[in-house]
């Protein structure tokens, strides 16, 4: 299983930011409202994610570290409509096969006065040691010395600054996807980012300014449209605010950050003829549709999605974005 997990880790854990992504998704699936991320040396030395979610009971700790053990899906038919960010049960097993992982948790279901529990797994087949740990309700995952036992992959780690920037980008995506969750990021012991939770439309708008940039927000058009069971809402840059890199392009499908060619193409098409060549729009867009109409189980990183009716989704997006760009011109 160690080898199998390391192979799976090759797909899931490319660099420190991939670990951050998986841990944040777990925290959000656990209903966390506050998440703290502590990172040392660009995440190569330490990634610690602390959340206030439901936690894991002691009896489930070891299982959580096993490959293909997920508490989120019970039957094959559940795969047809996935409501959680995780479901493959691969992340913790993969990470612990290439790093020193400590999973500590105190379940909200545990009796008052009970302590939390810690399970340690480091490149081994299963968690060996379970110890009590005094902690508030929630979960703390600590990942130390990423790739310590796979030197070939360790060599691919970039400069601390580069890895840190990737982590920041990951947090931006996750934060945009979950407005009701507050995030704090520390790098080498210093707070580098604070993203408060948003509970109203205004706060959410403000938060987009904080996360993406106020420059983007001030030059953006808000849209919110639905046709039948499809809804698209969010912020798109007005054509005169174009940019030359595709950095500020965020698309979320049912709360999941995706990089999808169909969606990006559909948006770009709406801007066609409105932008000088080589220039691209910026956007933060949320697509909502029946989970049964979208397959997120295309790739282990779950960045890609497949729509059962891609044409209809594509055309809906192009049409909606076009209409809003035009109404602004008038
Ligand atoms: P998946 O998210 O696909 O289920 P993971 O390997 O990421 O698989 O996590 C395995 C299991 O560990 C989850 O199904 C969940 O039960 C538990 N788990 C992991 N992280 C947390 C967390 N932060 N809070 C509560 N439970 C967690
Ligand atoms: Mg997960």
Any idea what the CATH number is for the domain that residue 257 is in?
Answer: 3.30.230.10
Same domain? For 188 and 216 the reply is no
pTM of the model: 0.90
What pLDDT, on a 0 to 100 scale, did the predictor assign at position 33? 97
ipTM higher than 0.95? Answer: yes
Q: Which ligand gives the minimal distance to the CA of 54?
A: 1
Res 232 pLDDT > 90: yes
**Separation of 84 CA from ligand 1 center, angstroms?**
10
Q: Average pLDDT in the 176-189 region? A: 97
In this structure, is residue 205 part of a structural domain?
Answer: no
Q: Which ligand gives the minimal distance to the CA of 82?
A: 1
What is d(CA 49, CA 191) in angstroms, rounded to the nearest whole number?
A: 14
Q: Average pLDDT in the 223-251 region? A: 89
What residues line ligand 1, using a CB cutoff of 6 Å?
22, 26-27, 30, 51, 53-56, 64, 69-72, 86-93, 139
Instruction: Write the CATH number for 41.
Output: 3.30.565.10
Check: CB of residue 90 under 8 Å from CB of residue 302. Answer: no
Same domain? For 188 and 225 the reply is no
In this structure, is residue 207 part of a structural domain?
Answer: no
pLDDT band at 70 (very low <50, low <70, confident <90, very high): confident
Last residue of a domain, one of 139, 168, 195: 195
Same domain? For 166 and 226 the reply is no
In this structure, is residue 14 part of a structural domain?
Answer: yes
In this structure, is residue 206 part of a structural domain?
Answer: no
Res 193 pLDDT > 90: yes
In this structure, is residue 203 part of a structural domain?
Answer: no
Same domain? For 147 and 18 the reply is yes
Res 78 pLDDT > 70: no
In this structure, is residue 159 part of a structural domain?
Answer: yes
What is d(CA 37, CA 189) in angstroms, rounded to the nearest whole number?
A: 11
The protein residue with its alpha carbon nearest to ligand 1, atom 25, reads 55
The protein residue with its alpha carbon nearest to ligand 1, atom 13, reads 70
Same domain? For 72 and 121 the reply is yes
In this structure, is residue 112 part of a structural domain?
Answer: yes
Same domain? For 143 and 37 the reply is yes
Q: Choose one of 11, 21, 26, 297 to mutate for the ligand 1 pocket test, by most ligand atoms within 8 angstroms of C-beta.
A: 26
What pLDDT, on a 0 to 100 scale, did the predictor assign at position 87? 65
Same domain? For 163 and 246 the reply is no
**Separation of 23 CA from ligand 2 center, angstroms?**
7
Same domain? For 221 and 133 the reply is no
Residue 41's region, left for phi above 0, alpha for psi from -120 to 50, else beta, is: left
pLDDT band at 74 (very low <50, low <70, confident <90, very high): low
DSSP 237-301: E-GGG-BSS-TTEEEEETTEEE--HHHHHHHHHHHTTTS-TT-B--EEEEEE--GGGEE-TTSTT
Q: Which ligand gives the minimal distance to the CA of 62?
A: 1
Same domain? For 121 and 269 the reply is no
3-state secondary structure of 110: coil
Residue with tokens 């936690």: 55
Q: Choose one of 11, 13, 29, 49 to mutate for the ligand 1 pocket test, by most ligand atoms within 8 angstroms of C-beta.
A: 29
Same domain? For 180 and 82 the reply is yes
Same domain? For 187 and 216 the reply is no
Q: Show the CA angle centred on residue 168, arms to residues 167 and 172, nearest 5°.
A: 115
Structural domain that includes position 247: 212-329
pLDDT band at 252 (very low <50, low <70, confident <90, very high): very high
Same domain? For 36 and 185 the reply is yes
Tell me how many domains the chain contains: 2
**Separation of 204 CA from ligand 2 center, angstroms?**
26
The protein residue with its alpha carbon nearest to ligand 1, atom 8, reads 89
**Looking at the chain, how many residues does it have?**
330
């Amino acid at each position: 299983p160690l080898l199998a997990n390391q192979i799976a880790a090759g797909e899931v854990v490319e660099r420190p930011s991939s670990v951050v992504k998986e841990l944040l998704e777990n925290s959000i699936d656990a209903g966390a409202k506050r998440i703290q991320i502590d990172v040392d040396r660009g995440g190569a030395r330490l990634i610690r994610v602390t959340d206030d979610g439901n936690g894991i009971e002691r009896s489930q700790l070891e299982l959580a570290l096993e490959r293909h053990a997920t508490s989120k899906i019970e039957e094959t038919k559940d795969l047809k409509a996935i409501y959680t960010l995780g479901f493959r049960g691969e992340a913790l097993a993969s990470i612990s096969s290439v790093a020193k992982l400590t999973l500590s948790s105190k379940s909200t279901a545990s009796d008052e006065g009970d302590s939390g529990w810690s399970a340690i797994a480091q490149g081994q087949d299963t968690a060996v040691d379970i110890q009590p740990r005094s902690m508030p309700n929630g979960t703390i995952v600590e990942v130390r010395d990423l790739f310590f036992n796979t030197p070939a992959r360790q060599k691919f780690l970039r400069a601390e600054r580069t890895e840190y920037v990737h982590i920041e980008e990951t947090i931006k995506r996750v934060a945009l996807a979950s407005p009701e969750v507050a995030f704090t990021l520390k790098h080498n012991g210093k707070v580098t980012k604070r993203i408060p939770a948003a509970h109203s439309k205004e706060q959410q708008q403000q938060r987009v300014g904080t996360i993406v940039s106020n420059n983007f927000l001030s030059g953006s058009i808000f849209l919110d449209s639905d046709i039948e069971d499809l809804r698209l809402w969010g912020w798109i840059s007005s054509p005169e605010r174009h940019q030359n890199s595709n950095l500020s392009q965020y698309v979320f499908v049912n709360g999941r950050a995706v990089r999808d060619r169909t969606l990006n193409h559909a948006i770009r098409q709406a801007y066609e003829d409105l932008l000088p060549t080589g220039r691209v729009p910026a956007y933060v867009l949320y697509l909502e549709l029946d989970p049964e109409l979208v397959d997120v189980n295309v790739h282990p990183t779950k960045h890609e999605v497949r729509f059962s009716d891609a044409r209809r989704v594509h055309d809906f997006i192009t049409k909606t974005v076009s209409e809003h760009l035009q109404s602004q011109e008038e």
